[in-house]
Amino acid sequence: MQQLPRDNPAVKGCIKAATGSKIVAMDLTTAEVYVAAKLAEDEALMDVFRSGGNFHSTIAHKVFRLPCPVEDVAELYSDRRQAAKAVTFGIMYGAGPAKISEQVTKDSGKYFSKNEAAEVINEYFQTFHKLKSWIETNQKFIEQNGFTYSYFGRKRRLPNVASEDKGIKSHSIRSGLNFLVQSAASDINLLGAIDMNAFIQSQKMKSKIFALVHDSILAEVPEDELDFYCENLKKFIQMDRGISIPGAPVGCDFEIGEDYSMGKFEKQYLC
């Protein structure tokens, strides 16, 4: 199930709910950044989650100290917003100026130079300096030890940090850093699914959690249980397991449809 293609409705559309039920998919919202903000204890980044509103606009507003209200950032400073978004999603992958330049140019349709990208990265880490310190500390630990432990105690062995090939070595260090946030985010989902499954059994519900795909929890839920299922799954996912930002539980996105493609199969192949 982990190999299901994320964006292929031909495959996902084959997973269809029984008559009288729906497929419910729950995904965490910007979970890896959320986890990184908490692990780094970066108050500036945690404040972005506490503030609510559009996440990437808030990041851009804070990083670039934009003079407009946050809700106007997307319209007035779309290039700055795209740049902040690219850095946010790229930091855990070691994205440098070249990668950020390429991504922003692609997303915005307007050329964004390496020099501009370098300035954005610098301003980003000036704003979220504790995040930068956390990244550097963990990179150094991984390089020196060849392993790391996730928040929930999983060990990732990374022997290739000893490689003389700089590309292989840097890839291993990035993999270890990714592991710290991806593993914790995945375990938040897994623990929530385990607790929800026990709750389903205790309540004698007919809902069935049948898969965890990537970071999604998939269930077949009778229509008369939909609200109750979603309400309680959200409660278990947002339960404080020691890695929650006070005042800002991790976000949950729910999609509900007749099949796992959420209507995209019918739209693409049957219309």
In Å, what is the CA distance from 10 to each residue of 2, 18, 23, 219?
16, 18, 16, 19
Q: How far from each other are the two terminal CA atoms of the chain, in whole angstroms?
A: 28
Q: Tell me the pLDDT of the chain averaged across its residues.
A: 90
Identify the band that residue 148 occupies on the pLDDT scale cut at 50, 70 and 90.
very high
Ordered by start, the domain boundaries in the chain are: 43-127
pLDDT tens digits, 172-181 = 999 999 999 9
- pLDDT of residue 270 exceeding 70, the answer is no
Q: 24-33, 115-124, 194-203: lowest mean pLDDT where?
A: 115-124
- pLDDT of residue 246 exceeding 70, the answer is yes
More confident residue, 226 or 67: 226
* Per-residue confidence (pLDDT) for residue 145, from 0 to 100: 97
* Per-residue confidence (pLDDT) for residue 190, from 0 to 100: 95
* Per-residue confidence (pLDDT) for residue 4, from 0 to 100: 75
pLDDT tens digits, 8-32 = 888 888 899 999 999 999 999 889 9
- pTM of the model as a whole: 0.87
SS (H, E, C) 101-146: HHHHHHHHCCCCCHHHHHHHHHHHHHHCHHHHHHHHHHHHHHHHHC
How far, in Å, CA of 61 to CA of 65, rounded? 5
Identify the band that residue 271 occupies on the pLDDT scale cut at 50, 70 and 90.
low
Identify the band that residue 2 occupies on the pLDDT scale cut at 50, 70 and 90.
low
* Per-residue confidence (pLDDT) for residue 17, from 0 to 100: 96
How far is C-alpha 141 from the chain's CA centre? 24
* pLDDT > 70 fraction of the chain, expressed in percent and rounded: 98
- pLDDT of residue 135 exceeding 90, the answer is yes
How far, in Å, CA of 262 to CA of 266, rounded? 9
* Per-residue confidence (pLDDT) for residue 162, from 0 to 100: 95
